Structure 1
């Protein structure tokens, strides 16, 4: 999860420092044994606690290195502990052959760790879900047991002088098991390398045999899988083969478990050249990533921008959109938005397709003023990469949620996933969740928040669970229009009139003005939104303007029909250009 990444980085840093300290302490124990060869207590007093430390640390290291576990860690210290243990055993009269064999086996296992970790880290992902092809690049079993077995062998070696020959035989048995397990690891690594090499060599033919009609091209920050997964159900409904192309390991990991479609990792421009096959007619994009220009250079393809939401954010009118052949927009508002910001665009490139994702959004169950205790969704956006995209109200979110609770509202809290990447917003999220938990315990209200609202439920599930919404400048506002339920937007940097001029979606919403000091007139806004709701009819007009004049009972069919037409798939032709309806 995004919120855990800073913590994980700190833990990893501490573990690396801890590994150095363990090595230093083991070196100290080695010198003590050499200085006091007859003092058995030196081995017990220093080696055993250090073995316990390494054993306990193995779990944290396993999480960091996945199935490789702690292999390759503490090598210097473990070698020294092995030497100290062997010297101590030899001085206690244990048969020479036994301690030589046991020491040799543990040393061989340690050296295997070093080599195998190095080889494992070179096996990078390359593809997933290719029909008829085993593309598993992960270890088939947990390699980390080699580390655990070596630690167990060293522990037995330390106490062998008290166990005698039985202890030495136990070390031999554990050492042999560690070597055999290391051999199995080596076999698996060789097989993984072979599969990867074969697949990369045959990738052009594999993709050609797949006969994809189009590609979905994606490059984004890690943790952004929602950008592409929101579109996949509808792209799959086109009924033709396609493949997803990503450009880095992080994006591959984001999608590998989240999709079933063929997923191909292409790191270089030459890698891309090899998979652009004759069957492909188009490429779909879901953001304005810089690396989109690597794919756009294939002029034989039709390049179609989808984006990942309908909103008045600056990204929705990025001038780089001109480089695409088509811009699929939800409604006329998206086209007018470019002109309003002085960005000249050829109108022929636009196709109004609606937002197919909202087809499952339910209409209001009753006028909100008739509800004794409405449920309100608070869905703030994140801070943004740049100053012109800092729309988030989360800093004032606890105050806003408190006012809703005082009105007896049930709250659904679903912040933007990127909110957890900023310390101040992460702190605000934690405060809001604590408030909701406390209120639920006191009142019994079934607030929705945390894993339930952010992971198990989709944003559209949250829409359907609510009777009204409060958000910021965000794509969820445009999507929420489909429900025709009341909504409010937070203006964090402008007066209400200026805010509505800059962000036309706000003309369909109640606006809460905010400042660095706090929220302004929030009570008056909540009175109107949760009471008489005078903007009800205005919202209906804006829903058509922003989301297209498309029948509700077949809403997603517009996107499918337009996409099939551009891909050359037989389908009933529909009108896809022109003004659907004048602006309200």
Structure 2
């Protein structure tokens, strides 16, 4: 893939060619010079094709410079008309007047199509976006063709016959060519306009906003949700919600997912839980009249404060991961009714941070996502023999990203990443799984550059391991097709949200169990398809981080939630210290490092670390890891999912009790007799105060 710097010359060249083509076309039209006119027009059309095929980003640059596709297309046709009128014969103005009129009519139709397409888009923009919900009552229908909705695509497609006809007439001096081309363009435009106008008929348009909101109220009354997952954020943050999908689906009651951004509906992973996207605050407030009792928040966002205003709901913050970083005890957490954490360590972290979260509001639930992490069962069979016997130690290097505060200790990628990977690759008995954080390089370009160098190191190491060929991937391909069939709905690329709502309606019964089986089969086929000992760079959605946990014998990471999660396995782990702190200070500052092997940026202790992994009798941190696991994640029994469910039920019960109290209070305030009796029971403050004795008695 070319780097952004390498694309700059190509973009500059394309821009220069397009400008030169228009200049040459203008000169040829004014002279006139037919061969130059034909060559320049063809060249400009060819450059347009290159723009749309390989440099679509340049289209927005042209638009910002007031040289969008409409301006360029009108200019191209105008120069062709000028050339025709300047060919020298006096009767040409009369001859070409109908053609010019037809061309103007085509552009008028183009503007009309654009105006009507905006109206159609507005009628198809509903106040609610759904998934896993039967919303057919909203008169959902397929979206109009993409050509009718995108003027940048429509004008070149519909206008090309007219341009080609004008160019052919200039070359052949036969006006019938221009007439045919313009007629074709007019016909296409009329068909497009008719298609859009039909969609504005009352019977063809989706439900109105009033009808949609009435349907929403009816659906909420029928489904009767009890607990919801509330999420708002950017496209790259969807993983924060996705990690809670399976625990949410296993809860008692009727779960619901509440989103705020329309694009996020498609970012949420495979799930059978109904999804409601409520972009407007006014629509969001309709949840107050529903049976919803509690909302679970895996992250904070600017729109979180909006839903916290609903008084009938209880809110809890579960976070999307726990670590020793300051972000794990954000002061915003005190805005929630409760804060759910994994174990005692997080409770202590909030107490020490003094951010306003009271201890009584902290509930330990474990990490239900980690129930699928397999416990440590010792080193792999015959691991002592090393690569000579065909067995290798699998090491997962999963560094976190650089963060927002510029702390050099946030990520090891910049200062230690290459050293860590080189030290691992130097051992022939090691197999490396490299899984960088999705946001690596998003803040500090040095992290992105180091990430690319690490990937190249791994690719080079794989090339040196001769004799290792990929295994048969037929089973993996079959499992991938089956998993895709269960988890994805075939939706054309040009589908809009209304069409997706139509296609992504209520799932078939039993799909969740089928997805779980297909996922397990895919993971087994994936690992089996890889050559023995081949290093891997894992960046796709599958396999997941927890699937990599189950394959790894050792984790190397940074101070992040990855460490806490990996402790569920009980396996050895190491932390790269790039903070500049001494090791004893580093361990004291970050309790999650207490049972880890601390690596310096030069990764000097790697041989000793690998030796301890291969020979458990040399591992001196076994008991420390077990104790730290209990401290971070809580007890093994009951399971985290059970504790999570119990916490949800308790919070819902508290919400119901609160709603009953509020209803009784409201009823008392509305009933005059009860209100008067309550007023009589409350002593008058002025009468209850003992009169003060005069300072100077008479």
TM-score scaled by structure 2?
0.70
Deviations 1:139-159 (A, max 9, x none): 443223553232353134212
1:263 match: secondary structure: strand
Counterpart residue number, 2:425: 405
The 1:132–1:157 alpha-carbon spacing in structure 2 relative to 1, beyond 3 Å, is same
Counterpart residue number, 1:148: 157
Do residues 433 (structure 1) and 455 (structure 2) align?
yes
User: Please, which runs of 5 or more residues in structure 2 have no aligned partner?
Assistant: 148-152, 387-391, 469-531, 655-698
The 1:439–1:174 alpha-carbon spacing in structure 2 relative to 1, beyond 3 Å, is farther
Give runs of aligned pairs for residues 145-294 of structure 1, distance below 5 A. Answer: 145-162=154-171, 164=174, 167-168=177-178, 170-180=180-190, 182-183=192-193, 186-187=196-197, 190=200, 198-199=208-209, 202-203=212-213, 205-207=215-217, 209-210=219-220, 211-249=224-262, 251=264, 254-255=267-268, 261-267=274-280, 269-294=281-306
RMSD: 4.0
Counterpart residue number, 1:375: 394
Counterpart residue number, 2:22: 26
1:511 match: secondary structure: strand
Counterpart residue number, 2:649: 564
* Higher RCO (CA < 8 A, seq sep 6+): 2
**Contact 2:249-2:273 within 8 A present in 1 as well:** no
2:600 match: secondary structure: strand
1:287 match: secondary structure: coil
1:455 match: secondary structure: coil
**Contact 2:120-2:200 within 8 A present in 1 as well:** no
Of 41-50 and 554-563, deviating more is 554-563
2:208 match: secondary structure: helix
Give runs of aligned pairs for residues 343-362 of structure 1, distance below 5 A. Answer: 343=355, 345-362=357-374
Give runs of aligned pairs for residues 63-74 of structure 1, distance below 5 A. Answer: 73-74=68-69
Distance 2:40 2:20 in 1: 11
**Contact 2:235-2:264 within 8 A present in 1 as well:** yes
Distance 1:433 1:192 in 2: 56
User: Please, which runs of 5 or more residues in structure 1 have no aligned partner?
Assistant: 570-584
Counterpart residue number, 2:555: 469
**Contact 2:343-2:632 within 8 A present in 1 as well:** yes
Distance 1:213 1:106 in 2: 56
Distance 1:189 1:14 in 2: 39
The 1:149–1:215 alpha-carbon spacing in structure 2 relative to 1, beyond 3 Å, is same
TM-score scaled by structure 1?
0.82
- Number of residue pairs aligned between Structure 1 and Structure 2: 553
The 1:492–1:296 alpha-carbon spacing in structure 2 relative to 1, beyond 3 Å, is same
**Contact 1:146-1:181 within 8 A present in 2 as well:** no
Distance 1:260 1:140 in 2: 29
**Contact 1:109-1:182 within 8 A present in 2 as well:** no
Of 556-565 and 107-116, deviating more is 107-116
Counterpart residue number, 1:573: none
Do residues 44 (structure 1) and 41 (structure 2) align?
no
Counterpart residue number, 2:99: 99
1:565 Cα offset (Å): 3.3
Counterpart residue number, 1:386: 405
Distance 2:55 2:201 in 1: 25
Distance 2:72 2:543 in 1: 48
Counterpart residue number, 1:455: 541
1:289 match: secondary structure: coil
**Contact 1:329-1:351 within 8 A present in 2 as well:** yes
1:559 Cα offset (Å): 1.4
Deviations 1:390-423 (A, max 9, x none): 5100012111111001112111111111104132
1:76 Cα offset (Å): 1.6
